[in-house]
Amino acid sequence: MIFKRQVTSSTFIYSTCLALVLVFFLGSCLTVKNFPPNKPFVFKSNIKIESKQSINQKDELKEKLLNQLDDSIKNRLVTKMLVRKKLDKPPAFDTSYAVRSAAFMRALLKSQGYMSGSVRWDTTLVVKRKKKKQQLRVITTFTVSPGVLTTIDSISYSFRDTTLQGLTMRNMRRSDLKKGDAYKKEAIAGELDRLIDVFKNNGYYKISREDIYAEVDTVEALLINPNIDLFERARLLSELQKKREKPTVDIVFKQRAKENPSHLKRYYLDKISIYPDLSIREDSVETPYKKDTVRGITVLSRYNLFKPKFVVDNNYLKPGALYSQRNYIRTINSYNQLGAWQQTAIDIFSNDSLGKLNMDVRLYPAVRRNLNIGLEASRNESDVVATNLFGLGVTFGVTDKNIAKQSVQSSLNTRFGVELGQQLLQTIQTSVNYTLHFPKFILPFKDSSRVKGKISTEGTNLSINASNTLRKDFYTIQNANISWSYDWTKGREITRRNKIYLFNYSPINLEYQHVIPTDSLRGLIKEAPNLYYTFQDGFIISQNFRFQVITTKGKHTTSVKTGLEQSGGVLGLIKTLDVDAKLFRFVKTFIDYSHNITYKKTALAFHAYGGYGFSYGKTKDSLGNIIPEQALPVTRGFTAGGPNSMRAWRARQLGPGSSRFYNDLSQNLDRFGDIQLEGNVEYRYNLFSIGSLKVKSAIFADMGNIWLRNNQGQEGLNNGVFKFNRLYKDLAVGAGTSLRFDFDYFLIRLDWAYTFKNPYYADYHYGWFQQIKFFDGQFQLGINYPF
């Protein structure tokens, strides 16, 4: 079949270039308002960097230098009507502004390791006459020559106190400071902070930055010493000449000569008292406290809202133990994360002569029960049909934060929602969910991880869910499941870097799905019997493990998620379960990577996803014959398209591969696959603000598709099977722009995307620029960022 292109690639490129020229022209418009009459005023400040650094290194340094500009010399551009720029009330130019800015820049260069860096500046006066008014615009250009970067040659620690020295040496592997790194003051400060944390976690309650410092030794400093002999001086001069070409420093961390005895004393915990039910507004007539003692800790309660043992179990401060700042913070976080308390405070009373600390832990309970009724617009990742179900819904929920006086949280939620699509109301869903969250591990064996401090938080969840999903014109899926799961986190704070590990393991998930096809779907199954394998009833008895690590370092945030689910397992060896009871047996795994780089007014976001599912059980075909399972159950199949996936396609309407099977059968039938690959990139930027509402935009591109493992007995699906030699043909590419309204708590996205490469036309120029019309883009309404 030959497809006629509606728009040629040359026409499309011409239109695109014309639009870009128009945007550039509008963006170049700049008006100046309320400028000082007949006086030179600050119009623009430029920074030029003279070095052999890479483009990325120059951009990073330039951004830091821009922050050093004196406030009076910074541009005050305001964007109007999305692209038009306005400079309002620019200050009169004064050379002192440039002098101060240059001084700030030199200080920054030294702090970043450019010890011989230089900054010079000059000005250009541009005269403009607008509406009989003369504008004297001053453009200041700062030329920055960073020079050679000074690096660290050696790092050593020399503390007179032997205990401090021992703690330092045992914890050196946690240091971010390495030989060969650039000499930066912020890195040195970070190492000093790390050492203070080490000491405070080992009993030194009162030690501070006043007690330690970093000494930087250079060859020049040694030459000043009058006691060195002539031969040593000659050697140092020779070494100095080499180091001028590649300067280095030696860093030694030391104690200050002036010591405070209490700062070098190790403190032990003595009396620990916990007040679990205080009121923020204390009663005028105090209710007497009920006193309980658990493992040497005193619990003083007024209203008997919590069990004393539960209160003590979530405390990391133990009588007789060395003071640890880590345990102090963990105790506060532990109570705050439980949900039963809205505020935690710890008062510390020290006895310097005995080296003892008494602590009062003051806890203020939160409101126990809440009734929630609301209108929501959200993406529901746990919904039955697919991971991209977006819609509007009404929710009714009841929560209780302190069942059994142990902060066991329960929630009962009902939801009625609709998915919006080409047919307006494309999907209608009703669901009921009940969840119990226990703030500890409930295990058949004793768990010692809390005692050893290996994890930060822990919890056990029991969830019961029932839902009814009506997909207009095709099917209704009724789903019920019950699951038992554990979640826990581990966190590690390093200098300038945070790393958090999130775990979830569900040892048992029981699920039943019942598919009710419409006459339309039954007719399609008669034409394509393979659809029977996707839309059928069955049980899922599975285990599920998910892991995520989130790393934050400066402007960079990286998230890596992976998961593995297997259903059936050994139970599937029982024929009555595998075939007669329709037990789905499969393994499904995925990996999800995202990386965000956040700047002052813009951001770059990268995302990649890969998923694979394998069905290995037995099932019956429409004639009753026992055959291998052909596809993942409909609740586990991969889909592409929608507001959080390939945005140039409607939800679940892309793929599989470059097969035309579904388009020829029914263009609106949902497509499910066993394999998915996807990559996305976004350039996000701010437009303007209306009060507290931030209006933003983005330019994005999506690439990916879904595939099958086999053709399911349909020749029309041959091109829907994943093959490396067809990967380029099968990949879909879409791109577009977005208007976003940021309300802080959530963000509304209005995305508009075009199909630049459509696998449906893979045999004609690999699908590039086919059937493109200006008004035929795909609109997507989404909540929050897609990744």
Q: Give the C-alpha separation, 271 to 319, whole Å.
A: 6
- pLDDT above 60: residue 615: yes
Give 448's pLDDT tier (boundaries 50, 70, 90). low
Q: What's the CATH superfamily of 32-145?
A: membrane protein fhac (3.10.20.310)
Give 74's pLDDT tier (boundaries 50, 70, 90). confident
**14-18, 206-210, 394-398, 709-713: least confidently modelled range:** 14-18
- Tell me the average pLDDT across 135-147: 90
Give just the sign of the alpha carbon dihedral 46, 47, 52, 54: negative
**6-15, 192-201, 425-434, 692-701: least confidently modelled range:** 6-15
Return mean pLDDT, the chain: 84
Amino acid at position 197, single letter: D
- pLDDT above 50: residue 24: no
* C-alpha R_g of the chain: 33
Q: Residue 100's beta-bridge partner residues?
A: none
- pLDDT above 60: residue 756: yes
Shortest CA distance to 703 belongs to which of 779, 761, 648, 666?
A: 648
Structure confidence at residue 131 (pLDDT): 65
DSSP E strands in 73-168: the ranges are 77-80, 84-88, 118-130, 133-145, 151-158
Q: What is the pLDDT of residues 269-316, one digit of tens each?
A: 999 999 999 987 765 456 688 999 999 999 999 889 999 999 999 999
Q: Give the C-alpha separation, 662 to 710, whole Å.
A: 15
**17-31, 61-75, 279-293, 578-592: least confidently modelled range:** 17-31
Domains 32-145 and 151-263 share a fold: yes
Shortest CA distance to 609 belongs to which of 700, 513, 538, 676?
A: 676
61 SS3 class: helix
Q: What is the pLDDT of residues 103-112, one digit of tens each?
A: 999 999 988 8
- Which of 620 and 470 is assigned the larger pLDDT? 470
Structure confidence at residue 100 (pLDDT): 92
- pLDDT above 50: residue 8: no
Highest mean pLDDT among 302-306, 419-423, 441-445: 302-306
DSSP E strands in 55-117: the ranges are 77-80, 84-88
Q: What is the pLDDT of residues 481-533, one digit of tens each?
A: 999 999 998 876 554 568 899 999 999 999 999 999 888 888 888 888 888 87
For the chain, the first-to-last Cα distance in angstroms comes to 38
DSSP for 150-161 reads PEEEEEEEE-SS
Shortest CA distance to 440 belongs to which of 338, 368, 333, 341?
A: 338
Number of C-beta neighbours around residue 312 at 10 A: 21
Structure confidence at residue 296 (pLDDT): 94
Cβ-proximal residues to 425 (8 Å cutoff; 6+ apart), any chain: 418, 419, 472
Structure confidence at residue 415 (pLDDT): 86
Structure confidence at residue 646 (pLDDT): 92
DSSP E strands in 404-555: the ranges are 408-421, 424-438, 457-471, 475-494, 497-517, 538-553
Shortest CA distance to 295 belongs to which of 269, 322, 313?
A: 313
- Tell me the average pLDDT across 355-376: 88
Yes or no: domain 267-365 corresponds to CATH 3.90.1150.10: no
Amino acid at position 536, single letter: Q
Cβ-proximal residues to 408 (8 Å cutoff; 6+ apart), any chain: 402, 436, 437, 438, 439
Q: Is 36 exposed, middle or buried (0-12, 13-18, 19+ CB in 10 A)?
A: middle
- pLDDT above 50: residue 47: yes
Q: Give the C-alpha separation, 166 to 781, whole Å.
A: 59
Residues of the chain with pLDDT > 90, as a percent, come to 44
Cβ-proximal residues to 233 (8 Å cutoff; 6+ apart), any chain: 223
- Which of 246 and 758 is assigned the larger pLDDT? 758
Structure confidence at residue 571 (pLDDT): 81
Structure confidence at residue 779 (pLDDT): 87
Give 577's pLDDT tier (boundaries 50, 70, 90). confident
Domain ranges across the chain: 32-145, 151-263, 267-365
Phi first, then psi, for residue 108 (nearest 5°) are -65, -45
Residues of the chain with pLDDT > 70, as a percent, come to 85
Give 23's pLDDT tier (boundaries 50, 70, 90). very low
Q: Give the C-alpha separation, 388 to 382, whole Å.
A: 9
Decide: pTM greater than 0.75.
yes
Q: Give the C-alpha separation, 409 to 437, whole Å.
A: 5
Highest mean pLDDT among 162-171, 618-627, 713-722: 162-171
Number of C-beta neighbours around residue 662 at 10 A: 23
Mutual angle of helices 55-66 and 95-111, in 10-degree steps: 130
Yes or no: domain 151-263 corresponds to CATH 3.90.1150.10: no
**128-137, 505-514, 546-555: least confidently modelled range:** 128-137
Structure confidence at residue 305 (pLDDT): 93
- Tell me the average pLDDT across 131-138: 80
Give 134's pLDDT tier (boundaries 50, 70, 90). confident
Q: Give the C-alpha separation, 421 to 425, whole Å.
A: 6
Highest mean pLDDT among 221-230, 244-253, 632-641, 660-669: 632-641
